[in-house]
Structure 1
């Protein structure tokens, strides 16, 4: 029986069924049978009419995959790169991206995470890969079935069910740069098949590869502790109850970030450059050449065109006390990342009286405490906006980014499905999601608990999503299925942003804010509603080839811009919509030794949420905000090839190409660069005719995503004796360059990564392997972020008077010169790993 839940009500779990199918396929030299739940129903990957890439537990173990970054490099159509260590995830599916996603609160990616089908808001980089049965990367608009924030796709982490027989595994590894990992799990019956459990945990640490030049200490350290428990109860043949809980702690050191300073800018001459800065502003810095404020001080270029190159000797972060002319100073009250997180879920599938009508309930809960700190000017400057003598040593510099955040999430989904073995099938469901969010500033006075809620730099926010959804499927002819899906949802957000001791963010509908510790009654609300359809038509030929076509619409939530948005007269930004379709084909040989999955797609993107640092104001530079200032489209194809010509050999290759470009839009920063440094004093959504050529982004590629990717793996496991096998595998990924912003001037280069493993595996379940990661020692930075360089001063100087534009007086942009910061990629690393399965 196949259900519209996360697991079928079978005598044994779907995972066990999949393992049996894999063993059978391997014995005959065929490809593994993979079961997916990408459409909320269990179905074979080879016959599911949807574009989904699957990373199985076998691939995770054999290839040594440990992170979402690794998973993305073994799938098609997804790009993932860490820019802020293990925080602020920004997965990009089919080129649909946003520069501020998960960096500025409320700005979200278009691809959401799910764990066992339950929505997961935020990052997902601290987990035990041993507990995963598979990772499903579902591509294209998925709002109809998956709901909020899946307008580009969904990433579903499916954890392993307990087993009805006793099993256990231990896994340990050690590698260069102080990397140690140990994990283990045990699974078995409590009351026979009626009550089973799986429990496990993982400890990992990484000592860091790069050094902070100011302190002489390593940066980029990571430590993770995880424990989890899954219990499955089957009180009868018709009911399955699955309870799961997980607790994790993450302690990471200062991030390995370097600054490509404005001294290296090489294009777009103009007033927003070092040559027009007021050197001698209130900051201290002693940066040596060529990155200091004496080298390049006359550079009149406003921007960097070309590749961001790695600079491991330019990590210069004030993350610890250092000697300065003002005495011993520390630039940050808290350094690194700390997460303490608890997740719980309860999933119930009930076949009502054995009728085939299935009632499913999915309940999720998460509580997360996050502390984050970094020296955000990414240099040894001590910069203060206040004039006069330097503040006391107990005052943080202006760009010390240190805060504490609390998240609490709850979700509930109910759905009723008709029998799946009928020519007409249906499902209806209800959904509710609520998130409460609080953040406060961490200071030297309060480096652990932070300043009181309601003080400067506090935020209180909520997200509430309600939805009703359903599907109707019909088989009018043998092999032909038509399925329609529809979701109506309402999303409400609130935000109270205290940006200074005297100012609040007030806009729209307001409610009492005193309950959050804030004076006054300023708690603005925004509400967005919408209906999203998805229609699939698929036909399976008599020979078993699957052909399908999909039409779908999806949406990414709107939100608030905070106090900066009020100043710019942009308090809200609206939803971003995606609408389009795809066609696909899936073919497998009769002996299951070769399979081909291919899809081509086109989507129209409306109201793309773009990042702007200055918009609609005659004041100075603003904190970055989001506006719906452009439209775009993405089109491309994906090809996945897999082969198992022999029981000892497995190979696959994935190729994807995406052409994601803007079809309209005006970017404020592009105007500044092309105008020679004039400030934007017009509405970028309706620019005057004379300004459009200077700000037009039509034809520009969407940032953060690459145009093409090629990846794959090859495994060979020949028998040496009856009880011993050699195990070898290679996996690689090649990814094109990624533009950093909508201007398409600066980019991070393409990268080629090669990993290998070789070892021995016994029939009793013991495996010892040696591995090498990044064997090519690829050093291309994975991602970069546009930033500022205050080491040359803040205020403008020597700017000619009487600037005009389009025959009218024009103000000069006097904000700090542009620069870029980026993380460093880990270099070639060797290690050993031992696995014992019982």
Structure 2
């Protein structure tokens, strides 16, 4: 880690030393410098009112449209690298987004319905429930990454922070802009927009579109085809009504379609396991006569290790996905056990998955309206959003060349993870704000959100629409959130402000899940609701209802010199939910109630300061925080008892934690020709208490815990305790920086250059703190020539050719068979003086996502 940090420091120092070779800066997180060399201000709306970035008493990083254009940023993956305190990993391609702010994360976030990341997306201040990686970057005016609990003003799922995309408004005069990009690996992009007045001084428009393709870098060795391909086609129309007085209305309609190929994922199998010896290892696995179509393709093993300790290395030559037709020969099994039949051999030719990759089609409509009532300064605002989304996802989720069935060679293989989800959501916020230039000011608002999602299993018989609802693999989920919120600011003396914010919300969830049984589905709260009148009250549980009040108090003082200091106290929550049929199964297997999980909560204290110095040529923002976490939502994996589909995972509340750290952002513009930024953040996010069942299995040598993991015995706690372990998925150290220069060549044009870099410390992939991703150092650069109208540039991404994996997930390796061998007699195994149960599940493995390597390309833009 230290060696990589030194490399980054030397790179920044070298770039600073070459300033004689270049001139005029463009900014990273702000607009270009003023003519006199000072740094321009940015207006942000992080507290739902317009404030300058340097005087807003809140930790927020802003990525402007200038930065997006100059540095070629394409998605939240890029935006996060320019900000402090946030980590983002493309763990499942462009799906299941999991932004991690200040170390607060969840391994199952956005994989299972209702499991939230803790950092929500917003578009023009409207809650955006879904993946956002395909959002058109050239339609964005700025991105505000707001850190710390935001539940009081922003609501559900913002207990770690909020990410707000502010889109571009219509222009006062007719303008047109466009961009064309070509790069290695068959990457190209065409994007453009036209804007201007429809009715002068009253109604303006902006219409734009984008087509983006990436051909993939890695090859599936089973098919010889590329994986990781990406394709997006999108368009939008924005109408801005402004009568120059009391009323402003923005209406926006957008369409987006993504079609991505199979994920660029490899499997690090159990053969790599090098620590935690025990029974859950390849050594004790063999073929099973009870599951004859799970052959031991890897034969026998002498490896007694249950887990992998260290950095998971990328294996680009080991992408092995059964996504095309394959002929499989299953050997015959002769049984010598009375009552157990023999099984003949079977030969089948079958595609491993009924659908491959990611398909996402979305319509999104929004309206933001502000009415200054009679010019009084009292503003009534309405924010409305509607999203209709259809998603298909398919992958061979054992991520290996293995091809087997739990229940016989019919339907899809055991690990075919293919599904479709149709969903829609609607949100409405209404708020009334007092005049913002008064010493006492505030706002009050009402909020409503509803989401409905229907899921179906994609099979060979129904590869696009899925099997009918009510069959195995189908589900129906319903979510409704209602809230009232308010904010009040008092300035008792000049420069001192005290702001109190509070939100009271009621959230209800209902679920109908056929993942465990067609005849007796898991049903929560659907008796007589949404047309499910045939379900009996005894089958259906009451809907999950969560009620909570979350406050936020800010005290700040702005000195006459421009120095801002502030302190914040806030509480937030991440919603609870249902585990559905998987929870019913887990309850039966583990002997504890896991049907639903509770909200995860945070209590936060933060202090910060912001100031400009050296005649606005230096800007500093710094903050320190301490967050106390309770009822942390952890994940446990369980086998699917029906013998079909992927392994299930459930969420449990099994621990408390603490996240403490600091963030520092610097921007320097010593002349109008040079702009340099640098940021660094540190977070110590760890468990203060917690008992994990898999931790027990690892430490006990392969025994299942014979206690409720939320109430362990003293002896059991010693083996399942995860206190002191770091929270997974978040990096303790993140640093980034940029340098921008422009050299005027003539009155008509100039040569420009920029570079940006990011350094992210290794992340643990699970709570055990054994397997990790490795430190990641990325460098990008651009060199080009521009005039007032045109820009031509060449660029390089990931110039260090960093190959560390973005993330990995703990998984199973059934290639040693589904049976057991060599285990001691059950009556000889004890724990804490009582008979113990040997864990006979499949050995652990890890699947990891491959990072895009070094890439060179060229780009041209125009602006009229």
Give 1:377-388 correspondences, 5 Å limit: 377-386=398-407
C-alpha separation in 2, matches of 1:514 and 1:152: 33
Q: CA deviation at 1:124?
A: 0.6
The aligned counterpart of 2:625 is 601
| Unmatched segments (≥5 aa) in structure 2 | 1-25, 330-346, 588-592
The alignment status of 1:396 with 2:412, answered yes or no, reads yes
The alignment status of 1:810 with 2:850, answered yes or no, reads no
* Structure 2 SS opposite 1:27: coil
Q: CA deviation at 1:516?
A: 5.4
Q: 1:180 to 1:725 in 2, by over 3 A?
A: same
* Structure 2 SS opposite 1:46: coil
* Structure 2 SS opposite 1:528: strand
The aligned counterpart of 1:791 is 815
Q: CA deviation at 1:591?
A: 2.3
The alignment status of 1:551 with 2:569, answered yes or no, reads yes
The aligned counterpart of 1:690 is 715
The aligned counterpart of 1:8 is none
The aligned counterpart of 1:529 is 547
* Structure 1 SS opposite 2:698: helix
Give 1:270-669 correspondences, 5 Å limit: 270-279=278-287, 282=291, 293-294=298-299, 297-325=301-329, 326-386=347-407, 390-392=408-410, 395-506=411-522, 509-512=525-528, 515=531, 522-524=539-541, 525-567=543-585, 568=587, 569-589=593-613, 591-613=615-637, 623-669=648-694
C-alpha separation in 2, matches of 1:682 and 1:117: 46
| Conserved? CA contact 1:460–1:516, under 8 Å | no
Aligned residues: 807
* Structure 1 SS opposite 2:69: helix
The aligned counterpart of 2:3 is none
Q: 1:286 to 1:760 in 2, by over 3 A?
A: farther
The aligned counterpart of 1:65 is 73
C-alpha separation in 2, matches of 1:234 and 1:785: 50
* Structure 1 SS opposite 2:568: strand
Q: CA deviation at 1:403?
A: 0.3
C-alpha separation in 1, matches of 2:659 and 2:30: 36
The aligned counterpart of 1:152 is 160
| Conserved? CA contact 1:454–1:518, under 8 Å | no
**Of residues 718, 725, 731 in structure 2, which corresponds to 1:706?**
731
The aligned counterpart of 1:5 is none
Give 1:98-137 correspondences, 5 Å limit: 98-137=106-145
| Conserved? CA contact 2:439–2:491, under 8 Å | yes
- 1:532-583 deviation per Cα after TM superposition (whole angstroms, max 9, x unaligned): 0000000011111000000000000000011121231211100000002100
Q: CA deviation at 1:270?
A: 0.8
| Conserved? CA contact 1:286–1:380, under 8 Å | no
The aligned counterpart of 1:746 is 771
C-alpha separation in 1, matches of 2:536 and 2:224: 48
- TM-score w.r.t. length of structure 1: 0.94
C-alpha separation in 2, matches of 1:444 and 1:57: 45
**Of residues 233, 246, 258 in structure 1, which corresponds to 2:254?**
246
C-alpha separation in 1, matches of 2:160 and 2:669: 31
| Conserved? CA contact 2:790–2:860, under 8 Å | yes
The aligned counterpart of 2:846 is 820
| Conserved? CA contact 2:151–2:550, under 8 Å | yes
- 1:239-290 deviation per Cα after TM superposition (whole angstroms, max 9, x unaligned): 0011001000000000011000001101111111111112367577999xxx
Q: CA deviation at 1:323?
A: 3.2
When structure 1 is superposed on structure 2, of 639-648 and 621-630 the one drifting more is: 621-630
Q: CA deviation at 1:685?
A: 0.7
RMSD: 2.1
Q: CA deviation at 1:507?
A: 6.4
Give 1:33-52 correspondences, 5 Å limit: 33-52=41-60
| Conserved? CA contact 1:214–1:322, under 8 Å | no
**Of residues 755, 769, 779 in structure 1, which corresponds to 2:793?**
769
| Conserved? CA contact 1:564–1:622, under 8 Å | no
The alignment status of 1:203 with 2:208, answered yes or no, reads no
* Structure 1 SS opposite 2:152: helix
Q: 1:22 to 1:215 in 2, by over 3 A?
A: closer
C-alpha separation in 2, matches of 1:638 and 1:237: 40
C-alpha separation in 1, matches of 2:526 and 2:216: 47
Q: 1:789 to 1:766 in 2, by over 3 A?
A: same
When structure 1 is superposed on structure 2, of 676-685 and 359-368 the one drifting more is: 676-685
Q: CA deviation at 1:104?
A: 1.4
C-alpha separation in 2, matches of 1:361 and 1:334: 41
The alignment status of 1:759 with 2:780, answered yes or no, reads no
* Structure 2 SS opposite 1:632: strand
The alignment status of 1:222 with 2:230, answered yes or no, reads yes
| Unmatched segments (≥5 aa) in structure 1 | 1-17
Q: CA deviation at 1:513?
A: 6.0
When structure 1 is superposed on structure 2, of 458-467 and 798-807 the one drifting more is: 798-807
Q: 1:379 to 1:169 in 2, by over 3 A?
A: same
Q: 1:437 to 1:367 in 2, by over 3 A?
A: same
**Of residues 84, 90, 102 in structure 2, which corresponds to 1:82?**
90
* Structure 2 SS opposite 1:47: coil
The aligned counterpart of 1:6 is none
C-alpha separation in 2, matches of 1:823 and 1:660: 24
C-alpha separation in 2, matches of 1:134 and 1:161: 11
- TM-score w.r.t. length of structure 2: 0.91
Q: 1:410 to 1:209 in 2, by over 3 A?
A: same
C-alpha separation in 2, matches of 1:217 and 1:143: 45
Q: CA deviation at 1:196?
A: 0.1
Q: CA deviation at 1:512?
A: 2.7
